[in-house]
A and B are shown apart, each in its own frame.
Chain A
Amino acid sequence: MTDGAGNPQIVTMRLELRNITKAYPAVIANDDVSLEVLPGEIHAVLGENGAGKSTLMKVIYGVTKADAGKILWNGKAVNIPNPAQARRLGIGMVFQHFSLFETLTVAENIALAVEEEFDLDALSTRIREVSERYGLPLDPRRLVHSLSVGERQRVEIVRCLLQEPQLLIMDEPTSVLTPQAVRKLFETLRRLADEDCSILYISHKLEEIRVLCHKATVMRGGKVTGEADPRQETVASLARMMIGRDLPVCEHPEFDGGGEPLLVIDGLSQKSDDPFGTDLKDIHLSVRSGEIFGIAGISGNGQKELLAALSGELPIDRANIAPITICGVAAGTLRADGRRDLGMAFVPEERLGRGAVPPMSLSDNALLTGHRTGMVRFGLIEDALARVFAERCVEDFDVRCAGVHATARSLSGGNLQKFIVGREILQNPRVLVVAQPTWGVDVGAAAAIRQALIDLRNAGVAIFVVSEELEELFEICDRIAVIADGRLSPVKRSSDTDMEEIGLWMSGMFPGGPAAEDVSHAV
């Protein structure tokens, strides 16, 4: 049992990176990065989006090859050309986005990663053993599509554990978990560390790192900007290391109860046409002018379907017209453009390919939904107006780009998100629907986006936010509800509830919720 911090005897590092450099055509993702991980150490790699964390992990896991630098594994120089080699060395990685086949069982999914000969029954027994030993209960016979997101993550972790890794890389593992599930995950990780497995923990959530990790390496702009013992630091001091200045705070004036309801859903039930989608079940809600209404929930519980029903992108079903009212007008039979004409704006979850056309310039992308602001006259495009609009958007929302002629796909995810949010806000909507407002956006810019939403709410706009980040919802929302298995929980003022309660509700345990009876099913 080795505690990572301050053991004076000479220990061979589990992993040592020396002067790793990796440059892409447009950016140096890793610039002379060095890092040491002790056996049994939980080591945080902390940094904003675009700081180079993911590239560094890809180098370690053999997904990409560094241009320069050395990797030492248990004291020996190694070359890791591909993930299979990394796994053979004893490196496991749990990705942020799972790579599981939904139509296969847990055991079959895991079998896909096993390289040697195996027997499915014996493998199932081993899966059960390992999963129980680490407090990750899993039934190997279940089909993956029937698993919750938390359970799917367990499959990924167990898949790594079966290889008996000496180093486990976890990329933003908590972004899909309830607070309760996060605590369970941490227990597992601590047990693994006690058994001498090192863990590289990638995150931008400072509080988690403070609670869990023995050591933190902070990255900014591709470089290591500091190392710290997170247990000795505060959230504010870690944030300062990460973004180079103090964490901005949003100003959020008191909620006055809101004005007239501008977005109303009155009993929406809808079957999903995706066999692995979620059916919406009798959803009632209303968003008033001057309020931010937040929907919390683990992803895959009906958020996508609810947003699609709101945005008007689904084909219109004449037999089952969606009971949606926008600014007092029944909008169930209107398409996306018709709903926008009523004063709704929408920021979708996928930016590239949906919120923006990848090969088009920002100026042309401003036209995509911004054409309503007078950019089209007699059927012809007023290029100058579109350019001015895009320039204003770039300036007001601090979009880092080469100019409004830059293509959407040349922007980083966070910057494109700022552009799309800006484009929707600058159209002066009366109702704004936003999915994952700050997903992938760096901390500083996230605060700016949240502030912009709050300012818009102060100006009397009705804002509907769907987010997986509870902290964010509590920071900006006036009222919160949870969606679980396509059902909506009771709505609470955010001042009358807390993360603990909403976290429980996220696993379906709310009055009338899918797991109101069955507490054991909770994730």
Chain B
Amino acid sequence: MRFKIEARPQPSARMAYLSPLIAVGLTLFTGLILSTLVGTNPLDAFYAFFIAPIDDWYGLGELGVKAAPLMLIAVGLAIGFRANIWNIGAEGQLAVGAICGGGLALWFYESSSVFLLPAMIVAGCIGGMLWSSIPAFLRTRFNTNEILVSLMLNYVAVLILSYLVHDPWRDPSGFNFPESRLFTDAASLPIILDGTRLHAGFIIALLVVALGWVFVRKSFVGYKMQVVGMADSAALYAGFRRKHMVWIGLLAGGGAAGIAGISEVAGPIGQLLPSVSPGYGYAAIIVAFVGRLHPVGILFASLLMSLLYLGGESAQMLLGLPSAVTGVFQGVLLFFLLAADLFINYRIRREPAVSPIVAATAADTEVTP
């Protein structure tokens, strides 16, 4: 008896949409088993993870605060991913966006101009794009692998940020803590829901999702990128330039991550810190795939991922679970999603061993040709 993975002749379209839900269900199930194993009542764990964080307005606001950067980055990344351009560097692009936008806020510290905030957002976007243009240039000019380049640049960007807040941009009256001065009101995103931390960055994120939807579903450039991702030779045949697609894909991801970076520092954080993201740039990759690389799917997936972040924190507080629990859930979710996706396109078939009767017949014919 052998098992064989074979391609399905007609992958089910319905399953393509159901697979994220199946993955979420299996993740929950695994979570319940895990919590039982560590001796927690599964119902308590479920409550701590999924209900407690969002049972009031403040909690809902927090959901939006964490979902905003995730959906922003994921929409940007998805544009590249659809064309098989693998930007893994959103974490670094986010940091550079925070540096550029935040730098502007510190430079014009005395200003109270209404143009300061928009200028910071533009600067953040440009910063992210600049950072992602490095892998784009190396890819189109020297055919280097954009996965490796963009990933390695993450560490560079985070170290630059760390250097800046440790030395040149350190708050002069901050007791030598590695952090910048707090941004003024003119340089901060306004709160949009009283009594919460939900800020205007959430609206920017929703706008970008809408823009992403138009780009992916309606624009000809989006169509070209889709063709490049699905069939390279067809793109060549139609005369679509792969190099342009690499640039667009990486710049979209970098720009979105840059906006997310400045939204974080001008929003909930309010200053530059050595670390401005709890791994949003990596989590957004999972969000993009759970959302089927589709802006609407990403909207929901980012809310789910945000809930996982909040649930992890709440589980630490209520149940005393370690902080690694958030990472575990993210990993488990991605694992089940990829597994479910495999079964959309493939199935496992059991292959019976060759029966002895056939072997005997074969032996017969060999003796008597």
When distances are taken between beta carbons in the complex, the residues of chain B under 8 Å from A90 are 365, 369
Q: B-side binding surface: helix, strand, loop or mixed? A: helix
Minimal Cβ-Cβ distance residue in A for B357:
A79
Shortest beta-carbon distance, B140 to chain A, in Å? 13
Q: Are A88 and B365 in contact (CB under 8 A)?
A: yes
When distances are taken between beta carbons in the complex, the residues of chain B under 8 Å from A313 are 236-237
B window 213-238: CB within 8 A of A:
214, 218-221, 223, 226-227, 230-231, 233-234, 236-238
Assembly CA distance A410 to B13 (angstroms):
13
Q: Are A312 and B361 in contact (CB under 8 A)?
A: no
A window 379-438: CB within 8 A of B:
379-381, 410
* Residue in A73, A340, A381 whose beta carbon sits within 8 Å of that of B365 in the complex: A73
Assembly CA distance A164 to B366 (angstroms):
11
Whether A358 sits at the interface, judged by CB under 8 Å, is: yes
Q: Are B227 and A368 in contact (CB under 8 A)?
A: yes
State whether A355 and B362 are in contact (beta carbons under 8 Å apart), knowing that A338-B239, A371-B220, A380-B219 are contacts in the complex.
no
- Which 4 residue pairs spanning A and B have beta carbons closest together? A337-B239, A336-B239, A354-B233, A376-B220
Shortest beta-carbon distance, A114 to chain B, in Å? 15
22 contacts between A and B (CB under 8 A): A24-B9, A25-B9, A73-B361, A78-B361, A79-B357, A80-B358, A89-B361, A90-B369, A335-B241, A336-B239, A337-B239, A340-B239, A348-B237, A354-B236, A357-B227, A359-B230, A364-B223, A371-B220, A380-B214, A380-B219, A381-B220, A381-B223
Q: Are B237 and A354 in contact (CB under 8 A)?
A: yes
* Residue in B9, B223, B238 whose beta carbon sits within 8 Å of that of A336 in the complex: B238
When distances are taken between beta carbons in the complex, the residues of chain A under 8 Å from B226 are 357, 360
A window 332-384: CB within 8 A of B:
335-340, 346, 348, 350, 353-360, 364, 367-369, 371, 376, 379-381
Minimal Cβ-Cβ distance residue in A for B353:
A81
Assembly CA distance A338 to B231 (angstroms):
20
Q: Are B365 and A74 in contact (CB under 8 A)?
A: yes
Q: Please, what's the 1-or-0 string for B355-369, where 1 marks a CB less than 8 Å from any CB in chain A?
A: 101100110111001
Whether B114 sits at the interface, judged by CB under 8 Å, is: no
How many residues of A are in contact with the other chain, CB < 8 A? 47
State whether A85 and B358 are in contact (beta carbons under 8 Å apart), knowing that A338-B239, A380-B218 are contacts in the complex.
yes
Known: A25-B9, A73-B361, A381-B220. 11 other contacts (CB 8 A): A25-B10, A85-B362, A90-B365, A312-B239, A313-B236, A353-B233, A355-B234, A356-B231, A358-B231, A359-B230, A380-B218
**Interface size, B (range):** 20 to 34
When distances are taken between beta carbons in the complex, the residues of chain B under 8 Å from A367 are 223
Minimal Cβ-Cβ distance residue in B for A409:
B10
When distances are taken between beta carbons in the complex, the residues of chain A under 8 Å from B223 are 364, 367, 381
When distances are taken between beta carbons in the complex, the residues of chain A under 8 Å from B238 are 336-337, 368-369
Q: Are A26 and B9 in contact (CB under 8 A)?
A: yes
State whether A88 and B362 are in contact (beta carbons under 8 Å apart), knowing that A26-B10, A357-B230, A358-B231 are contacts in the complex.
yes
Q: Please, what's the 1-or-0 string for B327-369, where 1 marks a CB less than 8 Å from any CB in chain A?
A: 0000000000000000000000000001101100110111001
When distances are taken between beta carbons in the complex, the residues of chain B under 8 Å from A348 are 237
* Residue in A85, A355, A356, A358 whose beta carbon sits within 8 Å of that of B354 in the complex: A85
Assembly CA distance A350 to B234 (angstroms):
10
When distances are taken between beta carbons in the complex, the residues of chain B under 8 Å from A340 are 239
Shortest beta-carbon distance, B155 to chain A, in Å? 34
Interface centre among A80, A311, A313, A346 (most CB of B within 10 A): A313
Assembly CA distance A381 to B215 (angstroms):
10
Minimal Cβ-Cβ distance residue in A for B230:
A357
Whether A76 sits at the interface, judged by CB under 8 Å, is: yes
When distances are taken between beta carbons in the complex, the residues of chain B under 8 Å from A360 are 226-227, 230
Assembly CA distance A355 to B219 (angstroms):
21
Whether B50 sits at the interface, judged by CB under 8 Å, is: no
Assembly CA distance A147 to B238 (angstroms):
34
Shortest beta-carbon distance, B347 to chain A, in Å? 12
When distances are taken between beta carbons in the complex, the residues of chain A under 8 Å from B230 are 357-360
